[in-house]
Structure 1
């Protein structure tokens, strides 16, 4: 999809169809040219409500305000309404929340790209994507003057971030038979070649040498050998160092603690954290942000078989801690334990984040659409929650406490891989991970449980059925902020 920025008024732009965003149900605004027809059609201008006037070649869509979150979903729903239509180009005005803030312009572009996304790799009949070109006029809803150079930069960034999110969605949506650990590593290597990132892939021999025995145990019963991927963006004069660690379970059967059949469906999505790390690295490289960023992915498949690891096993993690296994379906935290240890060994970071579809308990606690943010530092949690809010993602902090930590105590090992209570499972999983954060990173780490928003079986906001690319926009926004802050 190609975007063009122009100082011409919307009326003077060539375009097959005009998209008009109706703000706060204000159908009397000068941008609204079809008041009588809209009233006749019953259009009230509610958030994401659309009205398609074919005879006028105009599409109206409602937004509650000019804030980014409202403009983003309005644009996404507008492009969805045009799917399958014969129009090839759109023209639209600019909608800003203030004269100096172009965030809503960025959100609009993101909305168009994210809303146009479809995953049809396995369909014999593909839908036809007609919209190829979008012209954005600097004619502004409130009459604000828009800086052309700043607006152009904003649009470019929006395209990069939205494309990286869709790239992530594609990885997550790909079936486990087509995306297993080696394929995930190949995707990362190809992307690194295209963007100039450095990429290192550890195979089983190297993993054994690094004493990553908990990760290897999870992978043991699969015919697909595990991989640990390390992507690096190392610009000159970097303002700080950020490490991202992603859970890349390309498929999770639950192991010998086998999932019920209906819970096993959609488990291709258990690689969402690792996929997000790859997508984030893609965006960081293409934006060439002045921050050193490292992305680590533990890519593993958790299957059953005669060589499967078992409940009652005691595993030794890379940092030497022993783990009593009481449930083989709590495998992601075992993969992350070793990958976190390896990441901290390789990079001394100023900020350390892990992203994982870690617990169903997080979905129970905060719902399908919200990520749970945990860690030892309130500042780190706030940093992530704020970045989520500014990027259009939803996140909330979940606090650790000493009483829940006692529930992962083991009588025969240093720690147990599940708690002895059914309650607070998202937090106890986060506290388990904290056992593998060294002293240097203890206050620099945040755990991001994306189990809710990563894969939802219906469309919501700017997101389609299936993978949302959760975590990409949030973390890119956070890294952007770090790149702007003075050390």
Structure 2
């Protein structure tokens, strides 16, 4: 679907009802039609005679960051079924134009690659206009929204792709293809490199899989004037293309969504693609830890003691706490890049979903101002989040009698926080105040549609991190 900024007569007019207020300039026939349907500005209403489609924005949601996005996404489900190829819409501000574009572009995504019968969609173009914005500004907003939304939809497609296809090698190849298209650098490292780097924790997780692990390093460095210093951001993504739980095998019901355990790494690819295409004035790196956690005669075991890249020893008590082991070595590797900001994204704990629900990202770290700054950026971008406070008393839960650390805490209470604190043990000490851990276990993959997100992958973290990076360049 295309969003265009052109003065062209469309077949359908979409009318946004801000705060559920009906427009004053209605004809008597339109007023009568709305009266017959008892329409008061809630939900959607289609007037066939005048070809107007009213979209109500709930008063309790407005100006909630996703009110317009969600309202349009919900409306699209009905509009796409009409025998109409084009629609028009009037926006009143830059923010509203951005939200409209994202509502349409993100709300129209459907994962139907494996469906023999595709969903019906007649709508091809939506034309935006505004009496309050210059055409040039509106065109730029449309362009930027399309770049971001297309990246998110590509990431959704990658996350939704089943594990029989989306192996570590597949995701690494995907990253290489995106890098080539965007003109950014991409290095793909195999097992030999991981062994050379002494990534014992990462390697252990991947041991029993027929699909070999990879570490991918994406680098975006824009051209800048000589002598100008750019902020340097390094992103680390958990990329478990499938997680069976290993020898600590998951119950069957908990395996059916584990293709989504690569969501953090996939989001990092989308972020790098977005910042490159937007030409953001920041140096951005992405480190992807790609592996499968499977079972077999050579699988790593509870009671094993692993030596991580930073030489800390880890007692394994549960092989299903594998993401933190992969991230441990990746965070150590990323620390060597000496960034201004280090951010990891991971579907790390079910406990974070218990704490914040399905739809919010957990923000953790040692720097309160940095956490608040990221939460503000996420809200600006339309992603919900909650700050979970690190607690020094939880650190002792990772104590081990036989190693430096244990990979699971001795208590399940506060385990989203304690998992984040475990990761902090592998961030260079000089970077602890520059590091954020984002637990996206809740919003990354939800088995029901919500707002602009269809069933399945949402692309969680992309909008929030891109906005955070943009804020560092102002």
Measure how far apart 1:68 and its partner are: 4.5
**1:174 matches 2:169:** no
**1:281 matches 2:277:** no
Contact 2:17-2:23 at 8 Å conserved across structures: no
**CA distance in 2: counterparts of 1:449 and 1:29, whole angstroms:** 46
User: Counterparts of 1:389-428 in structure 2 under 5 Å?
Assistant: 389-428=379-418
Measure how far apart 1:27 and its partner are: 1.6
Measure how far apart 1:414 and its partner are: 0.5
Q: Which residue of 2 aligns with 1:142?
A: none
Give the SS at the match of 1:293. Answer: strand
Q: Which residue of 1 aligns with 2:256?
A: 265
Measure how far apart 1:40 and its partner are: 1.9
Query: 1:25 and 1:319, CA in 2 relative to 1: closer, same or farther beyond 3 A?
Result: same
**CA distance in 1: counterparts of 2:389 and 2:147, whole angstroms:** 33
Q: Deviations over 1:421-453 (max 9, x none)?
A: 011110010000000011221110000000000
Unaligned runs of 5+ in 1: 97-101, 140-144
**CA distance in 1: counterparts of 2:24 and 2:208, whole angstroms:** 63
Q: Which residue of 1 aligns with 2:122?
A: 130
User: Counterparts of 1:46-445 in structure 2 under 5 Å?
Assistant: 46=42, 49-63=43-57, 64=59, 65=62, 68-96=65-93, 102-139=94-131, 145-237=132-224, 239-345=230-336, 347-445=337-435
TM-score (norm 2): 0.96
**CA distance in 2: counterparts of 1:478 and 1:427, whole angstroms:** 22
Q: Which residue of 2 aligns with 1:43?
A: 39
**CA distance in 2: counterparts of 1:34 and 1:314, whole angstroms:** 73
TM-score (norm 1): 0.93
Give the SS at the match of 1:441. Answer: helix
Unaligned runs of 5+ in 2: none
Q: Deviations over 1:181-226 (max 9, x none)?
A: 0000000000111110100001111111111111110000100000
**1:26 matches 2:21:** yes
Give the SS at the match of 2:235. Answer: strand
Q: Which residue of 1 aligns with 2:452?
A: 462
Q: Deviations over 1:113-141 (max 9, x none)?
A: 001000001111112432221111113xx
Give the SS at the match of 1:111. Answer: helix
Measure how far apart 1:28 and its partner are: 4.3
Contact 1:17-1:91 at 8 Å conserved across structures: yes
Measure how far apart 1:167 and its partner are: 1.0
Contact 1:19-1:78 at 8 Å conserved across structures: no
Contact 1:372-1:397 at 8 Å conserved across structures: yes
Contact 1:23-1:62 at 8 Å conserved across structures: yes
Contact 2:4-2:142 at 8 Å conserved across structures: no
**CA distance in 1: counterparts of 2:396 and 2:148, whole angstroms:** 41
CA RMSD of aligned residues (A): 1.4
> 107-116 or 126-135: which moved more?
126-135
Give the SS at the match of 2:25. Answer: coil
Give the SS at the match of 2:88. Answer: strand
Contact 1:387-1:474 at 8 Å conserved across structures: yes
Contact 2:92-2:133 at 8 Å conserved across structures: no
Measure how far apart 1:76 and its partner are: 1.4
Contact 2:264-2:440 at 8 Å conserved across structures: yes
Give the SS at the match of 1:376. Answer: coil
Measure how far apart 1:405 and its partner are: 1.0
Give the SS at the match of 2:430. Answer: coil
Give the SS at the match of 2:287. Answer: strand
Measure how far apart 1:57 and its partner are: 2.2
Query: 1:67 and 1:150, CA in 2 relative to 1: closer, same or farther beyond 3 A?
Result: farther
Contact 1:111-1:462 at 8 Å conserved across structures: yes
Contact 2:235-2:343 at 8 Å conserved across structures: yes
Contact 1:84-1:127 at 8 Å conserved across structures: no
Give the SS at the match of 2:352. Answer: helix
Measure how far apart 1:29 and its partner are: 3.2
**CA distance in 2: counterparts of 1:255 and 1:463, whole angstroms:** 30
**CA distance in 2: counterparts of 1:242 and 1:397, whole angstroms:** 20
Q: Deviations over 1:28-73 (max 9, x none)?
A: 4337883322232232323xx1112334322111113466522111
